[in-house]
């Protein structure tokens, strides 16, 4: 399971804020590979896995958005019952707590991409192979 860079961008919770970020990322050919946004108050954290982290950070700076970069674990699991359970069970057996998790599946794919946020991404990556 690879460790990947994730950007957490803080957006104003208003119509068009996410559209603006996505449009600016597209202008510099940054592809969003996974995204997670949840309801929030006046500000909303949006987690992104992108094809190019450095240009994405420059876009955030250009838009004057607060962002943080951290490491997460990205695992591909089969699109079938029990696949995610096997990965999460391995982490649990080693005492690794999952702080958050989100996923995406590509059209026509037989595997989902699951992003797992943990305190120690390197340790989790070794366990959940």
pLDDT at 62: 97
pLDDT at 51: 94
pLDDT at 20: 97
CA–CA dist 105, 124 (Å, integer)? 21
Query: How does residue 80 score in pLDDT terms, banded at 50, 70 and 90?
Result: confident
Query: How does residue 118 score in pLDDT terms, banded at 50, 70 and 90?
Result: confident
Query: How does residue 19 score in pLDDT terms, banded at 50, 70 and 90?
Result: very high
Whether residue 47 has pLDDT greater than 80: yes
Rounded to 5°, angle at Cα 69 from 129 and 14: 115
Mean of pLDDT values over 25-30: 97
**Domain 71-127 listed as CATH 3.40.50.11260:** no
Q: Where in the chain is the domain with CATH 3.30.70.260?
A: 71-127
Out of 3.30.2130.10, 3.40.640.10, 3.30.930.10, 1.25.40.10, select the CATH number for domain 3-70.
3.30.2130.10
Tokens of 129: 């192979």
Mean of pLDDT values over 76-86: 89
Whether residue 112 has pLDDT greater than 90: no
Q: Where in the chain is the domain with CATH 3.30.2130.10?
A: 3-70
pLDDT at 121: 83
């Amino acid at each position: 399971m690879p460790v990947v860079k994730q950007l957490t961008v803080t957006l104003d919770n208003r119509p068009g804020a996410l559209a603006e970020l996505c449009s600016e990322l597209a202008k510099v050919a940054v592809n969003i590979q996974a995204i997670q946004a949840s309801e929030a108050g006046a500000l909303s954290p949006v987690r992104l896995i992108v094809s190019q982290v450095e240009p994405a950070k420059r876009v955030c700076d250009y838009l004057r958005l607060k962002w943080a970069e951290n490491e997460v674990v990205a695992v591909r699991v089969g699109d079938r019952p029990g696949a995610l359970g096997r990965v999460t069970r391995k982490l649990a057996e080693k005492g690794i707590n999952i702080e958050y998790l989100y996923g995406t599946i590509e059209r026509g794919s037989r595997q989902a991409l699951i992003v797992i946020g943990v305190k120690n991404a390197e340790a989790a990556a070794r366990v959940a192979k």
